[in-house]
Amino acid sequence: MSQSEPQRQPNPLREGIATRNIPDACTVVIFGATGDLTHRKLIPALYNIAADGELPPELAVVGFARRPKSDDEFRAELQEAAGKYSRRGIRDELWRSFASSVFYHQGEFADADGYKRLGERLKQLDEMRRTGGNRLFYLAAAPDQFETILQHLKAAGLNKGNNGGWARVIVEKPFGTDLASARKLNRIVEKAFPEQDTYRIDHFLGKETAQNILVLRFANAIFEPLWDTRYLDHVQITAAETLGVEGRAGYYEGAGALRDMVQNHLLQLLCLVAMEPPTDLSADSIRDEKVKVVRSLRRLSREDVDVDVVRGQYSEGAIAGKPVPGYRREANVKPDSQTETFVAARLHIDNWRWADVPIYMRVGKRLPKSGTEISIHFKKAPPVLFNKESDALDHNVLVIRIQPDEGISLRMQAKVPGTSFRIEPVKMDFHYGTSFGKASPEAYERLLLDAMSGDATLFARRDEVEQAWAFVDAIEEAWKSDKEAPALFEYPAGSWGPDEADDLLARDGRSWRRL
């Protein structure tokens, strides 16, 4: 909760019926209102929350963008997009009710006058919509516009709420492109908004299964006692995509898999798996524990990168039986591009719990199958009785599937029926979709509600982001070094990455889990 914000009085009529965080009345201002994110995610998410009856009526949504357009034109555009992308489609009467809170403000990001006029409009809306002077600014524009927008917001005095209300900012990833730029961005943000009012969004954290990692670990007594170096052999985290760059080459060429996925999504998942139990469920308690994990990640030297990190780029191949071009032949990709579309790494967390438990991570595009999962591989049973060297058994493996087919499975050993003593692995499998019929809300619904209610638990804190960049930068620097930079290995589209990624585990007598 913001320090500037008045403490919300407990509402006795809310007792026992709040299902999600209760959002405050506010105006949501979206910069980049005509962009893809607004159309595909933000407006459908806001509409769905409204349709669930969980948005306060004292709400206004203002789209800020360059092109001239009336409120009605903007609403019509959004209606079409929401109809297409909302998880439940739209109902006319509910849309009309929601759309009456949506407004358009034309302005250039770099034009001070546009912000001055925005300020006046917001004051009118505060009055008209009774928003309590609360403002939530969503930076859904290109990252290179963040600084301009934030500076102008501050200059126009919009970084403070009106009449004692609060002002918060949601910053979309990427949060910089390296540690230096992340620090610079954080300083810029900090000049306009204090840390407690800054919400760095990583939609992976809004996913139900990501949140369930904490529940699995800390609401079940059976796992936590086994969750350390005594019982764990290793951990694997995989984020595989069948897709290529799909029109994002402009961004991806400058980012690559390491910055696009590892620095944020994968390290966030790692934190949730590896963190110590927080003292409570408050945003800072959880984030304190997560940041300790990133701090404990062993920094990789130039030599370590050679040995423990593999980067690859897909070449021509096939996905689902259809030929696909190699990365360098994708539109807007340089023919001699050195951008990695695949990363595999062996990481170590230097703390008491994780000593000698390697974490293997891999992320890649144009892999044979899409899926994000974490697998916890337990040490084998002692080599006596059923686990003699001549007849070694598999590890027990606990798998947390983040997407798709969210769920949890546990592999264990069982005797095959019959007179012989044959033992085979069997799988206990929990699927969210099977057990819980209802579809989960979209990650953006949860995250928008949280930001509107002042709950930053599922948002990245400044130190988390900077520590993650510090870790990733060491790898980037090694790759960018002039002399004997580690190789960029090719892998055919539709394979599981370069052979060197398999070697990374084979050296330790292990192999990647089959997805």
Using CB under 8 A as the criterion, which residues of the chain lie in contact with another protein when the complex forms? 6, 8-9, 11-17, 19, 22, 24-25, 51-53, 56-58, 93-94, 97, 130, 132, 404-405, 431, 433-439
The continuous run of DSSP H or E covering 410 comes out as strand 407-415
| Residue labelled with tokens 């699995």 | 216
Assigned token pair, 130: 């009774």
Query: Smaller CB distance to another protein: residue 46 or 267?
Result: 46
Note if 265 is an active site residue. yes
Cβ neighbours, 10 Å, residue 221: 7
Positive or negative CA dihedral for 160, 154, 103, 20?
Answer: negative
Query: Smaller CB distance to another protein: residue 54 or 476?
Result: 54
Q: Are 336 and 328 in contact (CB under 8 A)?
A: yes
Query: Smaller CB distance to another protein: residue 392 or 428?
Result: 428
- Start-to-end Cα distance in the chain: 41
C-alpha 508/C-alpha 501 separation (Å) is: 12
**Identity at 368, one-letter amino acid code:** P
Query: Smaller CB distance to another protein: residue 185 or 240?
Result: 240
| Residue labelled with tokens 């006058």 | 113
Given 265, 348, 377, 395, the catalytic residue: 265
Give min distance, CB of 72 to another protein, in A: 19
Torsion angle, CA of 193/194/195/201, rounded to 10 degrees?
-20
> Smallest Cα–Cα separation from 513: which of 208, 274, 233?
233
Query: Smaller CB distance to another protein: residue 277 or 433?
Result: 433
C-alpha 258/C-alpha 247 separation (Å) is: 19
Query: Smaller CB distance to another protein: residue 2 or 296?
Result: 2
Assigned token pair, 77: 């555009």
- Report the phi/psi class of residue 434: left, alpha or beta, with left for phi > 0 and alpha for psi in -120 to 50: alpha
* Gyration radius of the chain's alpha carbons: 24
Backbone angles phi, psi at 205, to 5 degrees: -70, -20
Which DSSP state fits 96? Answer: H
Say how many CA atoms lie within 13 Å of 141 toward its Cβ. Answer: 21
Q: Are 369 and 515 in contact (CB under 8 A)?
A: yes
Query: Smaller CB distance to another protein: residue 53 or 68?
Result: 53
Distance of CA 513 to the CA centre of its chain: 23
**Identity at 3, one-letter amino acid code:** Q
